[in-house]
Structure 1
Amino acid sequence: MTNAWKTLAAAVFSFGVVSSVFANTELTVYTAMENEQLAGYKKAFEAKYPDIEIKWVRDSTGIITAKLLAEKDNPRADVIWGLYASSVALMGKEGMLEAYAPAGLDKVDSKFRDTRNPPLWVGNGVEATAICVNAAEAKKQNLPIPTSWEDLTKPVYKGKIVMPNPASSGTGYSAVNAWLQIMGEDKGWAFMDKLHVNIGQYTHSGSKPCTQAAMGEYPIGISLDFRAVTLKRQGAPLEIVLPTEGLGLDINSVALIKGSKNLDAAKKLEDFAVSDQAFLLYQPNAAALARPEFNVKLKEMPDAYYDRLITVDFDKAGAQRAAVLEKWRARYDGKSEQK
C-alpha cells in the first residue's frame, strides 16, 4: 500500500511538473522593430513575468500591416509592439484593437497616444525621417550638402538619392505623409514628381538608404534617423541633415488585438511597454520618446532635432494610407529594388 501511494504521489508530482511547464502563456507579438532590439525587450519582460513567453513575428512595417489586415477575421497575434502608429491606427479603424489604459499612461505625451479613453494604442519610441549624406562622397562628386527637402529636387542630385518604398517601409510612408502634410496635397505630389527624377532606387527597408550612403553606394539617403546615429558611432563619414521644412515621423506603438485568448497576459505586456524599465530600454534606440522625461540629447544628432519634428495626425495617416500608396505605386514603383 505504501508503495502504491508512493507511485501515485510520484505520478501526481510528475504531472504537476509537466503541467507547470506547459502552463506558460505564449504571447504572439507582431513587430517591425529592428531585429537587434528584440532579444533585450524579450529578456526583460520574461524576467518580470516568467510565466509568459514572447513569440515574435517580425517583418517590415508594410508586411506586418498587410498580415494583420489579412488576418482580421481570424487574428493570430495577441499584441502589436513596435509597429508605427499610422498602421496601428488603421487597425483601430477596422475594429481590430482592444482599448486599454496601461499603468503609467498619464506619463505619456498626448501627441504620442490614441486620443480615445481608454486608448487603442500607446506610443513608445519616435522614429523620424532624416537625410543621410556621405560627406566624403559629396565632396568627391562636388555635391552641395542639402539643407531642405526642396534642395533634393535640384538637377545636381540626379541619380544620387535613395529612399525607402513607402508601401513596404514605415519610414518611407512617414516621409510621404509628411510631405503631403507640410506642402499640401497638390504641392506634395508635385514635389515627389521632381524628387523621383533624382531617385536612383527605392528600397524595401527604412534603414537601408542610410547604410547605402555610409558605404558610398549612393551619396544621399532619405532614411531612418537613428540608423544615421548608429552608423556615425561606427565611424561612417555621414552628415545628418534635418530638412528645414520639418521631419516626418511615426512612433512605435503597443496595442492589444481584440479577441486574443491571452488578454490578461497581453495587458501585462502593454503595462510593461509603458513602464520606466521599458523606456530605459528604448533610450539607446530612439532620439525622442513618448515619455519626454526619458529623452537624452544625442551628440550625433543636430540640435534642431526636437524643433523640426512635426505633429502628425496618426488617424488621418492611417485612414489615407491605402489611397496614398496606390497613387505612389502608379507613379514611382518602377524604380523600386527587386524583392
Structure 2
Amino acid sequence: MRKTAYSCLLAILLLVLAVPAFADDGTLSMYVAYGKPELIASEFEKASGIKVEFLPMSSGEVLTRLKAEQANPRTDIWFGGGSDAFIQAKEDGLLLPYVSPNAERVKEAFKDAEGYWTAVSVVVVGLLANTERLASKGLPVPQTWAELADPAFENEVIASNPRTSGTAYTSISGMLQLLGEEKGWAYLDALYANVPFLEKSGSTPGTKTVQGEFSVGIVPDPHSIKINNPDAPVVTVFPKDGTLAWPAPAAIVKGTKNPEGAKKFIDWALSPEGQKVLMLATPRVPVTDVEPIEGVPDPKALDLVPYDHVRWGAEREAVLEEFSARYPHLN
C-alpha cells in the first residue's frame, strides 16, 4: 500500500515537472519556429538582462498548442513561422496586439495593421539543387517552377507538408496567387506528381537534398542552407518565374504574464542590433533597412512575388482541404 502511494506521488511530481510554466523571476517563455534560438536568447539577455526560455516547434504545432492552451497560456511570445498561422491565431483571439516604435521601419505588407504580429525578417522560397545527383540522373538544374513540374523529375523533388509547415502552405497558396487558382492547381498536380512523400518540417527537404537523397528541395531561404554547407554539392535557385516572399513574424501571446518583457523583446528584435543577430541566427532577408550580411541575396535582384497573406490566411482551411483531396497519397 505504502509502495503504491509513493508511486502515485512520484508520478504526480514528474507530471508537474514535465509541464512548462511561466517563471516568476521575469524570465520570458517563447515558442520558436526559427533557427538558432539559443543565440537569439543569449544576445537578448546580454542586451536587456532578461532571460529567455524557449521551446522549438513548427508553426503549425505552435498554433495547435496555443489553441489547446488558450484558457491557460504557457508562453509569452511566439517567434517565427508562417504568417498564415499568425493570421489564424489573430482570428482565434490568441494574440495580444502591440505596435513597437521600431515597427515603423517595417513595410506595411510585412506587419498586421492592428499590431497583432510584426515580421522580424523576410522569407524567400526557392530551390536547392544537388548538382551531383542531378548529373547522375542526366537532369539539368531547374531555373523555373515550370521546369520543376517536368515528369523527368519524378521522385526527385522533396517538399514539406502544408498542414505542419508554414513554408509549405505559403508555397502552395503562393502558386495559386501567381498562376490563378485553376492554372495553379493544374500546376501543383504536375509538381506533386514528382514528390514521393512530404516532410513534417519545412527545413528537412533542404537537409535531404544536401545529403543527396533528392535532386531538388523546395525550401525556405536556400541561400541559408548553402551558407551553412559551403562544401556541399548544392546550388541555390530563385525561380525566374517568381520568387515567393513572405514575412516571418513575431507576436505576443494573449494572457502573457510578462507583457512588458515581451514588448522589450519585440522592440529589440526590430532594432538594428537585433536584426543583425537574427541574420546571424538565420541568414534571412532583413525586414528593416539593415545591410544584409554576406551570402544573403539582395531582394532588389530577385523577382519577388508579393504574397497576399491576408487572403491566404483566411482561405487556409479551404486550401488545405483541397490539397488533401487532390493528393491523398501524400496525407
TM-score by length of 2: 0.86
Structure 1 residue aligned with 2:15? none
Q: Which region of structure 1 is more displaced relative to structure 2, 184-193 or 258-267? A: 258-267
Residues in 2 aligned to 1:86 and 1:320: alpha-carbon distance in whole angstroms: 9
**1:309 CA displacement:** 2.1
Q: Is residue 28 of structure 2 the alignment partner of residue 27 of structure 1?
A: yes
Residues in 1 aligned to 2:24 and 2:148: alpha-carbon distance in whole angstroms: 56
**1:305 CA displacement:** 7.0
**1:333 CA displacement:** 4.6
Query: Please, which runs of 5 or more residues in structure 1 have no aligned partner?
Result: 1-21
Q: Please point out which of 290, 294, 300 is paired with 1:293.
A: 290
Structure 2 residue aligned with 1:152? 148
Structure 2 residue aligned with 1:46? 45
**1:79 CA displacement:** 1.3
Q: Please point out which of 215, 219, 233 is paired with 2:215.
A: 219
Residues in 1 aligned to 2:145 and 2:123: alpha-carbon distance in whole angstroms: 18
CA shift in 2, pair 1:232/1:327, >3 Å: same
Structure 2 residue aligned with 1:112? 110
Residues in 2 aligned to 1:73 and 1:289: alpha-carbon distance in whole angstroms: 35
Does the Cα contact within 8 Å between 2:82 and 2:170 map onto a contact in 1? no
Following superposition of structure 1 onto structure 2, how do residues 125-274 of structure 1 map, counting pairs within 5 Å? 125-226=121-222, 227-233=224-230, 235-274=231-270
Q: Please point out which of 64, 68, 71 is paired with 2:69.
A: 71
**1:201 CA displacement:** 2.2
Does the Cα contact within 8 Å between 2:110 and 2:247 map onto a contact in 1? yes
Structure 1 residue aligned with 2:13? none
- Residues 68-89 of structure 1: per-residue CA shift (max 9 Å, x gap): 2333343222111223222112
Residues in 1 aligned to 2:89 and 2:79: alpha-carbon distance in whole angstroms: 13
Residues in 2 aligned to 1:268 and 1:304: alpha-carbon distance in whole angstroms: 28
What secondary structure, in the 3-state scheme, does the structure 1 residue paired with 2:81 have? strand
Residues in 2 aligned to 1:231 and 1:216: alpha-carbon distance in whole angstroms: 16
Structure 2 residue aligned with 1:61? 59
**Paired positions, count:** 307
Residues in 1 aligned to 2:289 and 2:180: alpha-carbon distance in whole angstroms: 29
CA shift in 2, pair 1:77/1:64, >3 Å: same
**1:23 CA displacement:** 5.8
Q: Please point out which of 322, 328, 331 is paired with 2:317.
A: 322
- Residues 298-338 of structure 1: per-residue CA shift (max 9 Å, x gap): 27x5x7774222212222222111221122123225236xx
Runs of 4+ that moved beyond 6 A: none
**1:56 CA displacement:** 0.9
Structure 2 residue aligned with 1:12? none
Letter in 1 for 2:212: G
Does the Cα contact within 8 Å between 2:162 and 2:168 map onto a contact in 1? yes
- Residues 13-35 of structure 1: per-residue CA shift (max 9 Å, x gap): xxxxxxxxx8621322111112x
Does the Cα contact within 8 Å between 1:123 and 1:251 map onto a contact in 2? yes
TM-score by length of 1: 0.84
CA shift in 2, pair 1:66/1:305, >3 Å: farther
Letter in 2 for 1:65: L
Residues in 1 aligned to 2:284 and 2:24: alpha-carbon distance in whole angstroms: 39
Q: Please point out which of 119, 126, 130 is paired with 1:123.
A: 119
Letter in 2 for 1:312: Y
Structure 2 residue aligned with 1:14? none
Letter in 1 for 2:308: D
Residues in 1 aligned to 2:202 and 2:246: alpha-carbon distance in whole angstroms: 12
Does the Cα contact within 8 Å between 2:72 and 2:255 map onto a contact in 1? no
Q: What is the CA RMSD across the aligned residues, in angstroms?
A: 2.1
